[in-house]
Amino acid sequence: MFTLLISALCFIAFAWLVIVVLTLHGLSRQKPLLATSNPRLTAGDAPLISILVPARNEQQRVLEPCIRSILAQDYGNFEVIAVNDRLTDNTGTILKTLALNDERLHVIEGEELPPGWLGKPYAMQQALNHARGEWILATDADMIFEVAALRTALDRLLETNTDALTLIPRFETGSFWERVMIPTWEWVFLMFMIAYRINDPKSDGAAAIGGFFLIRRTVLDRAGGYEALKDEVMEDVRLAERIKRLGARLIIERAPALIRTRMYTNFSEMWECSTKNWFSGVNFSFPLALACVVSMYLGAVAPPLIALVSVLATVLGISAGLGLIIVTAATSWILQVLVLAIASRRSEVSVIYALTAPLGLALIYAMLFDSSIRITTGRGVTWKGRRIYDRRGVQPPRLHAAVSSRNKA
């Protein structure tokens, strides 16, 4: 038993060493996108961009700064279509007041959800029905744009001859739990990008950030618009998958100097948002979710606990000869800390929070487990006052074409 434990801990430590190398490799290839100084388009030939903003219960967040930052873009030809999505606060009043002072902002009163639709896809489809642009930018009501964001994004699309571009913002943090969670989440997303080669046109791997997703209108129409995503809680990721299956080119870029957001303001919001999304992230496969949870707890959470218990047992004289266990288990934890220290620097979070690496990983995968249980049992999850995927409403899609194609291959 002792030998088996040592072997397992050595394997885990080696795995974390490989992960450190992969993390450094991924970061070296992911240079931040900076504001362009020589735009490719003049004001006269700039195509119209329609910016779609779904807004629901945003009064206490940053709705007004968000819309103002969009309207302040130095790109010369765009319209903003904001959907007042069946709200229960003063979001609609804020939008209408802003629209009085800028004719580029159009406010749509959201309709009641039809059967089979989730809230955000339906809000996006309503906005899309009013859009006139050659390009469509899907965004969220908690994003803050720097003045050159829109111009730089379109320049990047034209430079790379790309059909769709999604930008990773700077994720701002304001509380202990955000500083634990955000760097960990960003690192997990980086590993996903590396594994699935998102920017490689030969790979079917796809991902997107709903806060900034700029798409050629003809490609979006070919993908079926948001009607094809009506039951998807992660409509951005599923849209990215559809775009790549069409043979269109998608790229994802880090752009902390161009856009920023604070996704959560407290632990409750963090848990609610994550449980809404995480099970969809594994394509609603409970076995896959369980495998992810078990492997991460064994590989990330267990080693620090084993090291701690072994140290206490040695100090208290309960057991002896645990030095090798302590060294191998502690090595795994130290390598985790190194990985999260790298991620924390990129997230502009103090590297001190890297010491909480096992806590951050435990939190993410606890959220995945809770999301899986709630949706699988039909209890559903809640987001902004709406029940999602409960047994009485819209049911989650169990199989996606992207997964089918990979299985057939």
Tens of pLDDT, residue by residue over 269-323, are 899 989 999 999 898 999 999 999 999 999 999 999 999 999 998 888 777 778 8
Give the per-residue pLDDT at 59: 65
Q: What is the pTM of this model?
A: 0.89
Give the per-residue pLDDT at 3: 83
Tokens of 155: 């320049």
Q: Of 234, 228, 239, 235, which Cα lies nearest the Cα of 279?
A: 234
Tokens of 317: 């004289």
CATH class assigned to 32-169+209-265 = alpha beta
| Spatial distance between the Cα atoms of 211 and 66, rounded to a whole number of angstroms | 11
Give the per-residue pLDDT at 67: 94
Give the per-residue pLDDT at 404: 42
Residues of the chain with pLDDT under 50: 399-409
Pairing state of beta strands 250-254 and 143-145?
A: unpaired
For the chain, which residues make up each domain, given as ranges?
2-26+283-402, 32-169+209-265
Give the per-residue pLDDT at 250: 94
| Spatial distance between the Cα atoms of 73 and 77, rounded to a whole number of angstroms | 10
Give the per-residue pLDDT at 36: 82
Q: What is the 3-state secondary structure (H, E, C) of the chain?
A: CHHHHHHHHHHHHHHHHHHHHHHHHHHHCCCCCCCCCCCCCCCCCCCCEEEEEEECCCCCCCHHHHHHHHHCCCCCCEEEEEEECCCCCCHHHHHHHHHHCCCCEEEEECCCCCCCCCHHHHHHHHHHHHCCCCEEEEECCCEEECCCHHHHHHHHHHHHCCCEEEEECEECCCCHHHHHHHHHHHHHHHHHHHHHCCCCCCCCCCCCCCCEEEEEHHHHHHCCHHHHHCCCCCHHHHHHHHHHHCCCCEEEEECCCCEEECCCCCHHHHHHHHHHHHHHHCCCCHHHHHHHHHHHHHHHHHHHHHHHHHHHHHHCCCCCCCHHHHHHHHHHHHHHHHHHHHHHHHCCCCHHHHHHHHHHHHHHHHHHHHHHHHHHCCCCEEECCEEECCCCCCCCCCCCHHHHHHHHC
Tokens of 309: 């218990």
Give the per-residue pLDDT at 399: 43
The CA-based diameter of the chain, rounded to the nearest angstrom, is 80
Give the per-residue pLDDT at 405: 44
